[in-house]
Amino acid sequence: MRVPRDLSGDELIRRLERLGYAATRQSGSHVRLTTRDHGEHHVTVPRHNPLRLGTLAAVLASVAAHRGIDREQLLKLLFD
């Protein structure tokens, strides 16, 4: 599955919230999300529109590594 090219930071935040992440703080345009599922994990998402592909790839890689799944499985969870 391909990574969406036009995904906004707000949309990514909403999709990550469905996986158990919650906004814990915000500094300017960056939101820090935290989950306690599978151990504590923090990820920072900029509220830019659209997200740069490298930024999106880094966030997805971090979340996938924390959950112990590969990127394809995470994309299916987030976008199906």
Mean pLDDT by 10 residues, the chain (80 residues): 89 95 96 94 96 95 95 92
CATH of 9-74, picked from 3.30.920.30, 3.40.50.300, 3.40.640.10, 3.40.1280.10, is 3.30.920.30
Predicted local confidence at residue 38, as pLDDT: 83
Predicted local confidence at residue 3, as pLDDT: 83
Give the domain ranges of the chain: 9-74
Contacts 24+ apart (CB under 8 A), 15-21: 15/78, 15/79, 16/43, 16/45, 16/63, 16/78, 18/78, 19/63, 19/67, 19/77, 19/78
| Residue type, position 27, single letter | S
Predicted local confidence at residue 61, as pLDDT: 96
Q: Dihedrals φ, ψ of 3, to 5°?
A: -75, 130
The two beta strands, 41-46 and 30-35, are antiparallel
